[in-house]
Structure 1
Amino acid sequence: MVCDEPAGRDGPVAGDGARPKDDAALRSPVKQRRDHARSATWTRRLAVTALVLAALNLRPVVTSLGPVLEEARAALGMSGTIAGLLTSVPAVCFALVGSAAPRLARRFGPDGVVFAGMAAVALGLAVRPFVGTTPVFLTLSGLALAGIAVANVLLPVVVKQRFPDKVGMMTGLYSMALNLGASAAAAVTVPLAGAFGGDWRAGLGAWAVLAAVAVPPWAALARDGRRQAAHQAGHQAAHQAGHQAGHQAGQRTGREATPGAERAARGDAPAEAGTAVRVARSPVAWALALFFGLQSSSAYVIIGWLPQIFRDAGLSAETAGLLFAVTSVLGVPLSFLLAAVAGRLRNQSGIAVLLGAFGLAGYAGVWAAPAAAPWLWAVLLGVANCAFPLVLTMIAMRGRDGATVIRLSAFAQSVGYLLSVPGPILVGALYQHTGGWHGPLALVVCLMTAQTAAGYFAGRDRQV
């Protein structure tokens, strides 16, 4: 009895206790993989939501002001010169502030910088309608534009990092949202003001709500980015510690690793190669910057002058407005489709040339007979305007890694926006000097030809 009792107790207890532990050990990796998959799915959905919300806020700062500019000028005592300056401030701000985005991204991470940018947009939009002086109004507009500028540069980077296998589709998605936000702000600001008793300040400030909605998703994405960076840093530290131990062992056995082997062991050879790249010396980067700048210049000409061209041809103001709306609305579906197709191709030169052909045909029609087939000219120019999502897709695909895409995006957009400033101004000066549109449109045709050539070189299968 005494001998049997320990055997009986130990046998069943030990056996029953060991089995659950073994099962738990077997289930643990499976559960970890399942949890990791759920977390990755949640993060990707969060990133999609954040991208779309950010894109919706990239243009209302500019396009919501135009419909109520007359009321804003009267309330603030804004001169015509200052009002004209407002049309060029966005491009200059995008160029100057966007150039700082790479340094900010290296310090705070792309997600964190876009989060701060969205907060700046919300603050600027919320406060600027309720100030009483022009300088403060301009300052708050500049704050919102600064937030947009860093987001402009870094959204292609976020796409590259978060969706490396779906660059074209995700670029198309947020380009579509960008066009939708721009069109909605232009169309809805006046009705919003009417809903608040005709108060232009309320109609303008209402867009701060949309910007505020974008802040929490980017805050969550920034936390996830910091968590991933900390995990990666810990992994690299452990890897480096293992390498150092192996290196010391090699020294003890008389075998010393070569510097190239050491870099390969650390896995940072590509990163070193990437940091050695001087983006400003790359022909691909300059082709992208020229293509970006020339397509922006064409877009600003269409936004600023196309309705006037149609009105000078004898069409009514209402019809001219509808024709301009066609060029904007076409960008909503075409931006998504075009970027999705471009992202599947290694070479996008053919698409750039095709868009240039649409633009040349549209401008030629407007030059020869603007009132003969205005709807056709508007459709052709609307298709040509879709060069914007194409160049964003190109930027994300031309960089070898995320760090290079940050520098490439900052360079192409900063230089490109600066190049885009003179075009609309020269068109207006020629129009004022000649009293007609043949001279200005001839200039735009030359710019479109240069855009087509730059797009051909930017679209080739080359990487920086």
Structure 2
Amino acid sequence: MSTAADPSATETESLRPSPSSTTAAAGPSPAVRHAGAALLAVGVAAAAVNLRPVVTSLGALLDPVQKDLGMSATVAGLLAAVPPLCFAALGVAAPGLARRLGPITVVAAAMGAITAGVLARSFTGSTAVFLLLTALALAGVALANVLLPVVIKRYFPDRVGPMIGLYSMALSVGTSLAAATTVPLADALGGSWRLGLGVWALPAVLALVLWLAVLFVRREKGGSASAEPAPAHVRLPILRSRTAWALGAFFGLQSTSAYSAMGFLPKIYHDAGVSESASGVLLALVMAISVPISFALPNLAARGGDQRLYVVVLGLCGIAGYLGLMLAAGTVPWLWAILVGLSMCAFPLALTMLGLRARTPGGVAQLSAFAQSLGYLICIPGPIVMGALYENTGEWYLPLGLLALLLVPQILVGVRAARARHIEDEVVG
């Protein structure tokens, strides 16, 4: 939930700086450079805050949106599946756009798409138009999701770790904030779900203004804005790597769990007798768990060559959490939220493993592109199936049981992917 010039790169490579990116673009003076860097850092945080409220604010108000628009549970499941579909499709296009226009230009455009989509969807009375506008906002999310780490690696080559930490925490803060405050905001604004969703265009506008300012300061012009040339690397026959396939499956299964939870968890709690406001807070708790862990887990997991213990522990947390929701969602609901939140920390673990399973930056780029694209495609049916099961049974037993069951193969493929080996050793020779 990429490199600056490589079309197949993704977020993982930015977790560790490369020797070739140690020179920042020179500015007119140290004071101007520092001011520009500070502006860009604030822009990164502001953009990251806007990468999840498109989804989590809708999850908090899904009931009134469904009723007002006449939306079936199956279509609601489609809404939960749109994010990974956009990420799979546009994640491939983002590096090419960045080469032609420059990453800062594309991120600024992405903030514009988020602003327009979030604001406009709150005025429509059509389910189809609502879906299209949500897809527009998510297209912006997908582009920024891929390119923000590119910006970090290119313009903060000596501070990649702290900036990735800032990016991860801001993303988690935005997720939690939207989940916890959307319902109270809607209530305070007259009980309108339209205002409750539309208000999230405001932080997007702020991020857009910041990125337009960054764009003006940097005066970026397509690929020429790169501080270093595109790295050359050998194309690997990655389809022959069992580790690559295992990583793709692990990424897809953990994404299935994450997007299903973000889309349906407030409704699951509400159907169990928890108030709408408290349900949003519980979703916020799920997301808040990842704030400190997303920062610490990659460093811990990278210290050893093997990450199997983390895979198993996080998977077991998820099984316990979903079974608890299935059997007693209204009893100690905070405990199930914590367990589900811990299981969703498989996302930063997956990104970490993507960076460790190849020997070279070029290998990491190819592995990341393959595993994340495959993973997002795998997770698309999950939320749709959950919505269909709920619509046909009127209960959450089968959907939650399915999520708990899917964690078993997630653990199995994750254990395979977490072994200390490199894909080059599997495909070369």
Where on the TM-score scale, by shorter chain, does this alignment land: which range?
Answer: 0.7 to 0.9
Determine if contact 1:362/1:378 at 8 Å carries over to the other structure. Answer: yes
Spell out the pairing of 1:18-167 with structure 2 (5 A cutoff). Answer: 38=31, 41-73=34-66, 76=69, 78=71, 82-163=75-156, 167=160
Give the AA of the match of 1:156.
P
- Cα shift at 1:56: 0.9
Measure the CA separation in 2 of the matches of 1:387 and 1:204.
Answer: 28
Whether the 8 Å contact between 2:108 and 2:211 is mirrored in structure 1 is: yes
CA contact (8 A) 1:169 1:336 kept: no
Of the three residues 377, 401, 412, the one matched with 1:453 is: 412
User: Which residue of structure 2 lines up, in the alignment, with residue 327 of structure 1?
Assistant: 286
| 2:170 aligned to which of 174, 177, 182 | 177
After superposition, where does 1:332-343 map in structure 2 within 5 Å?
332-342=291-301
* 5+ long unaligned stretches in structure 1: 1-31, 237-267
Matched-pair contact (CA < 8 Å) for 2:59–2:265: no
More helix by percentage: 1
Q: CA deviation at 1:207?
A: 1.2
* Cα pair distance change 1:43/1:412, threshold 3 Å: farther
Question: Is the contact made by 2:390 and 2:396 (CA closer than 8 Å) also made in structure 1?
Answer: yes
Residue 389 of structure 1 pairs with residue 383 of structure 2:
no
List runs of 5+ in structure 2 lacking aligned partners: 1-24, 425-429
Structure 2 residue 183 is matched with structure 1 residue 190: yes
Q: CA deviation at 1:298?
A: 1.6
User: Pairwise mapping of residues 350-389 of structure 1 onto structure 2 (< 5 A)?
Assistant: 350-363=309-322, 374-389=333-348
Shift of 1:144: 0.9
- Do the aligned partners of 1:167 and 1:396 also contact (CA within 8 Å) in 2? no
Deviation digits for residues 410-464 of structure 1, max 9, x if unmatched?
4433321221123344455566777877765554344223223333444446377
SS in 2 for 1:100: helix
Closer/same/farther in 2, CA of residues 169 and 458 from structure 1, 3 Å limit: farther
- How many angstroms does 1:174 deviate by? 2.1
The 5 Å alignment of 1:419-430 reads 419-427=378-386
Counting only pairs closer than 5 Å after superposition, residues 284-295 of structure 1 correspond to structure 2 as 284-295=243-254
Verify the 8 A CA contact 1:193 1:199 in the aligned structure 2. Answer: yes
With over 3 angstroms needed to count, the CA separation of the structure-2 counterparts of 1:47 and 1:399, relative to structure 1, is farther
Structure 1 pair 170/433, CA: closer, same or farther in 2 (3 Å)?
same
> Residues 219-234 of structure 1: matches in 2 within 5 Å?
219-222=212-215, 224=218, 226=220, 230=224
CA distances 1:275-294 after superposition (whole Å, capped 9, x unpaired): x3455555454333222211
**Displacement of 1:88:** 2.2
Contact in 2 for aligned 1:343/1:393 (Cα 8 Å): yes
Work out which structure has the larger RCO, using CA pairs closer than 8 Å and 6 or more positions apart in sequence: 2
- 1:300 equivalent in alignment to 2:294: no
Distance (Å, rounded) in 1 between the aligned partners of 2:106 and 2:27: 31
The residue type equivalent to 2:257 in the other structure is S
Deviations 1:310-363 (A, max 9, x none): 677x76447766554432322223222324544666654443333223324444
Structure of larger gyration radius:
1
Cα pair distance change 1:116/1:438, threshold 3 Å = closer
- Verify the 8 A CA contact 2:73 2:391 in the aligned structure 1: no
Alignment of 1:250-269 (within 5 A): none
The structure-2 alpha-carbon separation of the partners of 1:49 and 1:299, relative to structure 1 and needing over 3 Å to count, comes to same
- 5 Å matches for 1:198-217? 198-217=191-210
Indicate how the Cα distance of structure 1 residues 121 and 416 shifts in structure 2: closer, same or farther if over 3 A, else same: same
1:195–1:446 Cα change, 3 Å: closer
Greater Cα offset, 337-346 or 444-453: 337-346
Aligned equivalent of 1:273: 233
* Counterpart-to-counterpart distance in 1, 2:209 and 2:361: 24
**CA distance in structure 1 between the partners assigned to 2:191 and 2:281 by the alignment:** 23
Paired residues of 1:117 and 1:148 also in contact (CA < 8 A): yes
Residue 3 of structure 2 is matched in structure 1 by none
Distance 1:213 1:305 in 2: 29
Q: Does the CA-based 8 Å contact 1:395-1:405 persist in structure 2? A: yes
Q: Distance in 2 between matches of 1:70 and 1:370?
A: 18
Q: Summarize the Cα distance change of 1:423–1:203 in structure 2 as closer, same or farther, 3 Å threshold.
A: closer
Aligned residues: 397
In the superposition, the TM-score normalised over structure 2's length comes to: 0.75
Q: Contact 2:252–2:376 at 8 Å: present in 1 too?
A: yes
| SS of equivalent residue, structure 1 residue 290 | helix
For normalisation by structure 1, the TM-score amounts to 0.70
Return the offset for 1:210.
0.7
